[in-house]
Amino acid sequence: MSVPDSSAGPLSGIVVLDLTRALAGPHAAMMLGDQGARVIKVEAPEHGDDTRGWGPPFVQPEQGERESTYFLSCNRNKESITLDFKDPDDLAVLTRLIRAADVLVENFRTGVLDRLGFGMSRLQELNPRLVILSITGFGHDGPEGGRAGYDQIAQGEGGLMSLTGSSPEDPTKVGVPMADLIAGMYGAFGVLAALHERGRIGTGRVVRTSLLAGMVGVHAFQGTRYTVAGEVPGVAGRHHPSICPYGLFRAADGMVQIAVGSDRLWHAFAAAFGLDRPEWSRNADRVADRDAVIAAVDKAFSTYDRQTLMATLAELGTPAGQVRSLDEVYEWEQTRSQGLLLDVEHSTLGTVTLPGPPLRYDHGGRTSHLAPPILGEHNESVRAWLDGMGGNEPGG
């Protein structure tokens, strides 16, 4: 049986209209572009997406505007067209793009699209097959549905910061914009589900998520600790609250992480490091006595350098790892072997290396990737594409 050519990606033929800025929406649209969709990013003239100004660091080409590394992180595989939503001619172009699109992604504050004349009912009237992804800060309705959403605020309001840090007095945000990224991921997942449904029923639907929803969605076992067991979790720090030992420990020359995720692993580990005590034979017992277990493991590890300790743990079959800085991650051969670095040709910066798409397929997948666009780079080509349709946009 022959294998179909999927070198353009599994979403080849899907057109995504990206009306978003900042991170959650652009990340969702980029995920779709990574899988082969054609993503047309609509930006305001002159300044474009907010993230074009977020820095430093900026990269300055020899000629032209400086480029923000923040913008470069979330806008690969997109085309950029500038439209002024106060200009009737530009709104007419937007209308044509809506008719031509399969997916529209927006993260305006609640009510903005309605004021522009493109509320949800109007979008569905223009293109009944359109799948619309709407990402908000705290939800589009409810008593606080109109609140603006920024990542760190959502990490705090959504409980993530109460679980992260060294003590209850030191709530800490995750080192990347986790609320934005998770909302974008859930949004892209919802779009794929809606596209699958559209293939069955012929019409699109509105998919909604928010930064708050994303944060609650990743509470995992910490959420059910409260909803089922009635416990209010606190900061987890360097160690897992329900598995012991699982966390960060000190070797003689640095830090090593281990995950002793079963009693079987524990018995082999404990025997090798002189920790085989009857009162610690079960995970629940070790969790109850976690401070003593952690202190004992730290003491056992203190006589080993990291390299020797990692080798010993590997022989035992104990899952273990180091804490790498980002330069070490990107220089690591394992990272490179997984296709997680991507070289693209930027129109002003030349060849740049970006973190690559995190999905791989057993065959095919998108093999040619676009660099993040400069502002308005595709104004002419997108308009020419619309003109070539001659008013026969698919959704019209």
- The set of catalytic residues is 180
Using omega within 30 degrees of 0 as the cis cutoff, is the peptide bond preceding 245 cis? yes
CA distance 39 to 102: 10
CA distance 240 to 227: 19
Pairwise CA distance, residues 335 & 117, whole Å = 46
The first and second tokens of residue 151, run together, are 């990542």
SS3 track for the chain: CCCCCCCCCCCCCCEEEECCCCCHHHHHHHHHHHCCCEEEEEECCCCCCHHHHCCCCEECCCCCCCEEHHHHHCCCCCEEEECCCCCHHHHHHHHHHHHHCCEEEECCCCCHHHHHCCCHHHHHHHCCCCEEEEEECCCCCCCCCCCCCCHHHHHHHCCHHHHCCCCCCCCCCCCCCHHHHHHHHHHHHHHHHHHHHHHHHCCCCEEEEEHHHHHHHCCCHHHHHHHCCCCCCCCCCCECCCCCCEEEEEECCEEEEEECCCHHHHHHHHHHHCCCCHHHCCHHHHHHCHHHHHHHHHHHHCCCCHHHHHHHHHHHCCCEECCCCHHHHHHCHHHHHCCCEEEEEECCCEEEEEECCCCCCCCCCCCCCCCCCCCCCCHHHHHHHHHHHCCCCCCC
Q: Position of tokens 């992480």?
A: 257
Residue type, 58: F
